[in-house]
Chain A
Amino acid sequence: MDIAVCLCQVPDTASVITVLDGAVDLSRVHEVMNPFDEYALEEAVRLKERFEGSVVTLFCVAPPSAKEMLRKALALGGDRAVLISGTKEPSDPFQTALLLSRAISACYATALPDLIFCGKHSTDFQSAQVPLMLAELLDLASVSAIIKLNASTEGIQVEREIEGGIELLDLHYPALFSVEKGLNVPRKTTIKAVIEARKKPIDHLSLTLSESPFVAITAMKPLIRKKQCRFVSDAKELIRLLGHEEALF
């Protein structure tokens, strides 16, 4: 089975995000693998371990500094990685998805991979657009935000949470999934795996990007959420305030 995993980098959750001249100042943040992509990678590696002869290829559109994150992903079970850059830097999810679709088409010359895994969304821009755009560009069946996956040689059953319940879906290969937390519990790296990962290839791929972005950012400001908390000592008083003054129930 050929499995592709799309990985992106995000500031680690402990980072304090500051805005400088209308743009996010990333000079002091530490970048890590997008948390949802850890579940995507883990699921791919589990399938590789079940279906003999499988190869897991990692795709990442990012500057060269993302190599460190890709090394870690290789230590977690990826077989090879492709680090993609465009003739210009992608600036919206459409351009990112375009570059990914071109890189995937280039790497699997004759056919598409059997499965592509992405995270549900990135924790920085949180647009949840790249996976489904990629599926449309590659003309692939897809399901977003899956919480359960059951693969056999014939087909795949997945589950996703919808408002008020769970939806069960049946698919054939090839297919693309974006994954939600809860799909699996990602493993930790071992020293042996880290050493072995140094021998795994990371290819650099530079691709033309002539298309314009679909969306532009026009303003960016820090969001101050601090409120003035009114402390109450008595439960009854709180109910009166919420029920009468705020008329919430």
Chain B
Amino acid sequence: LRPDITVSALLAGPADLRQLEGRMAGTGVLYLASDARFSRYNPEHYQRLITDIMKREACSDLFFADTVLSRDLAPRLSVRLKASLLSGCSIIEDIASEASCTRALYSGSVIASFAPRRPLSIYTTSSRPTHPIIPSETHISLVLLEPPGFIEATLLPVVCGMVMRESGSDVTEAGIIVAGGRGMGSAEDFEQLEELARLLGGVVGASRPVVDEGWRPHAEQIGQTGKTVAPALYVACAISGAPQHLAGIGSSRKVVAINSDPHAPIFDVADYGIVGDVHLVLPKLIEGLQEFLKKR
């Protein structure tokens, strides 16, 4: 949108550039550090790669998606570059002049704006793009980075393995989440939520008691001591809506609540609600959805 702003991007590790076709816009440089040793995260290597490019391009602002990796890397970079770090921004405004980043604090009961006080700024953002990408306007040059000398240095920690979940998708990345609370009753009762999630192309989430009971893994816990999620649709089944749970779902676009208690606080933050027993409502939802999807 601002032709005077040049964007430099970095891809670390071997990458299939065809996947980027039609997904880039603007004017800038794409750096590709294709050495296979960059495919695994090493904070020291990544810091060096990034600081080199920032110097080369005289960058004033550095952007990350808000992920496990950036939450690990950005604070270290902030100290090393003496750069302001604005993390978890849901809105970023006016970076060319008096920049500000907005995010929720105190489990989502307060919203605050932060401003950088250093010439360099780092942002980690959970916001989704608000402007459509216009691929026709791209002026992007590709620079291949030679494997830098520092990569041989044995720097710790060393990632020695990864175990990926079979379902692959993560609640923090999911577009649709079907979450269950204590009122589901048992681990077995989550099969219905899995079925619903499968039909919707979403994933299953959980409240804390469900995880504490061992019905679901901790990776699925949503809330203050779990994940913060931002799906297009959040379906809360037999979840009361405690503030610690709501702390994680504030960025959901639409919330649907199913609860037998008409006064459950979850209905205060829901767009649609069904008052009823999940064990009766869920089979009907699944059946109705199968019909709906067949008709299309």
Residues of A within 8 A of B (CB): 11, 13, 16-17, 19, 24, 35-36, 93-94, 97, 123-133, 135-137, 141-145, 147, 157-158, 160-172, 175, 180-182, 212-223, 225-227, 229-233, 235-236, 238-243, 246, 248-249
Contact = CB atoms under 8 A, between A and B. Distances in A.
Contact of B68 (A97, A160, A226, A236): A160
A168 B164 contact: no
A126 B88 contact: yes
Contact of A11 (B83, B106, B285, B292): B106
Contacts, number: 247
B112 interface: yes
Given A162-B162, A218-B115, A169 B157 contact: yes
11 contacts: A17-B109, A24-B110, A35-B224, A129-B87, A163-B173, A166-B164, A214-B116, A217-B115, A230-B273, A232-B273, A242-B254
Interface residues of B, number: 90
Given A133-B76, A165-B164, A212-B117, A239 B288 contact: yes
A166 B79 contact: no
Given A164-B169, A214-B85, A218-B115, A230 B271 contact: yes
A143 B114 CA distance: 26
Q: What does DSSP make chain A's interface, helix, strand, loop or mixed?
A: mixed
Interface stretch (B31-39, B129-137, B225-233): B225-233
Contacts of B80: 136
A172 B269 CA distance: 47
Given A129-B85, A181-B226, A242-B233, A166 B162 contact: yes
B254 A235 contact: no
Contacts of B108: 223, 225
Given A238-B274, A249-B176, A181 B110 contact: no
Contact of A219 (B113, B157, B172, B256): B113
